[in-house]
Structure 1
Amino acid sequence: MIALFRSGTSIVHRAPAGFKLAALALLALIASLIPHTSLTAGMGLAATLGLFFLAGFGPITWARQIWRMKWILLFLAVTQGIFLGWEPSWINTARIASIVLLAAAVTLTTPTGEMIDVLQRVLRPLRRIGIDPWRVAFTLSLTIAAIPVIGDFAARIREAKTARGVRLGPKAIVTLLVMSLRHADDMADALTARGIA
């Protein structure tokens, strides 16, 4: 499992995990539900860059996060541009990018253990219906940690195909699926060996 957290002393790092997760949820709702113009969508995206500066990361880390989701953003932009028009396409794609960047800022500045603790407290009422809050929180943290792993797999496949002069095709998706399933099996074995699963 790749650790997303990067240690630091910025004001964003020092903010409580619960506050950051609540702010993420609130800002994601605002970005999703409030109507936007091209200008406000662009301002929202620029605000995420400001947040990365505030966290002490700068534009390179911000750009890397954008680069990691480039294919998803390109797919969204093109399909929405065809069916909805290019202005709605820009607005919707910018909103999605802003939400993902906000989530990245939270995971980069918050240790996984702190996020699990917060999620456990939030999910504590689920005990009444027989659901273990710790397992749910742990599963969510594993899901978050798996995202960059799968992104790394995709980058490796792309680099291997480029080195051989082969174009990406449907087989690349199958290869990515196989690598992801193997990683899931390895993770399951590791959790079982530790008595967690």
Structure 2
Amino acid sequence: MIALYRTGTGPLHRLAAGPKLLLFAVIALTLSLLAPTLWMLGAALALVVAVYAVAGLGARELGRQLWTSRWLIVIMLVPQLIVLPPVVAVANTGRVVAIILLAAAVTLTTRVPAVIEATERGLGWTRRFGGNPALVGLVLALTITTIPVIAGFATVIREAQAARGARMRLTTFVVPLLVMSLRHADDLGDALAARGVE
């Protein structure tokens, strides 16, 4: 879902991290506030396709990001279909998927240190009120680098189940993923505590 940097020379690669993050935040907020209609969904998907085209990432990369997000789409869509009208459920899910795909485009075209530096610089004003921009930058870096790790856990679980000939079930997938993720978070917390980060 959230991918790591790919080299390139497109306009999105050349755009500085600060304006790129600000633009993403504005788009994400706008998509979040729009009414869940098929028009909104169409506009969001058209925007995603345009961003990937302008960034030089192409349809293949967009398809790969969508395929990586498939279980998240299912987990979001199915419960909403039970309690909401189909149009609203599909539009809500599409809105979140569009934001995820745009976030992936940002990380595909921006190096992690540049994202962290821009975040710390942008939050520098919070120091007056006791904020810690460096800590926010660290949390952001951990989030960006941990998401691919958790995706790797999911792949390992699916491959292990396939090797045993077990059928894919939500419970037999989610529980091991949760255990592995919590163990990873615990190890990460111990490593940070050993280095004096609270």
Q: Please indicate the TM-score interval, normalised by the length of the shorter structure.
A: 0.7 to 0.9
String of CA shifts for 1:130-167, please: whole Å, max 9, x gaps: 33211211111211221122112112211211221112
Normalising by the residue count of structure 1, what TM-score does the alignment of the two structures yield? 0.88
Give the drift of 1:76.
Answer: 2.0
2:54 alignment partner in structure 1: 54
String of CA shifts for 1:159-191, please: whole Å, max 9, x gaps: 211221112353432321232234335545665
Q: Note the residue ranges of structure 2 that are not aligned, 5 or more in a row.
A: none
Does residue 109 (structure 1) correspond to residue 109 (structure 2)? The answer is: yes
Amino acid at match of 2:165: G
Q: Note the residue ranges of structure 1 that are not aligned, 5 or more in a row.
A: none
Does residue 72 (structure 1) correspond to residue 72 (structure 2)? The answer is: yes
String of CA shifts for 1:70-121, please: whole Å, max 9, x gaps: 1221122222222111111121111111111111111111111111111111
2:11 alignment partner in structure 1: 11
SS state at 1:166 partner: coil
Amino acid at match of 1:183: H
1:178 alignment partner in structure 2: 179
2:26 alignment partner in structure 1: 26
Percent identity, aligned pairs only?
45
| Cα distance between partner residues in 2 of 1:174 and 1:100 | 24
1:157 alignment partner in structure 2: 157
1:134 alignment partner in structure 2: 134
Give the drift of 1:59.
Answer: 1.3
Q: Which moved more, 1:62-71 or 1:160-169?
A: 160-169
Q: 1:51 to 1:178 in 2, by over 3 A?
A: same
Q: 1:196 to 1:60 in 2, by over 3 A?
A: farther
| Cα distance between partner residues in 2 of 1:90 and 1:60 | 23
- Aligned-pair RMSD on alpha carbons? 2.2
| Cα distance between partner residues in 2 of 1:155 and 1:188 | 23
Q: 1:52 to 1:122 in 2, by over 3 A?
A: same
Q: 1:51 to 1:135 in 2, by over 3 A?
A: same
| Cα distance between partner residues in 2 of 1:7 and 1:190 | 31
Normalising by the residue count of structure 2, what TM-score does the alignment of the two structures yield? 0.87
Q: 1:21 to 1:71 in 2, by over 3 A?
A: same
SS state at 1:7 partner: coil
Give the drift of 1:25.
Answer: 0.6
1:91 alignment partner in structure 2: 91
Correspondences of 1:30-45 after superposition (within 5 Å):
30-45=30-45
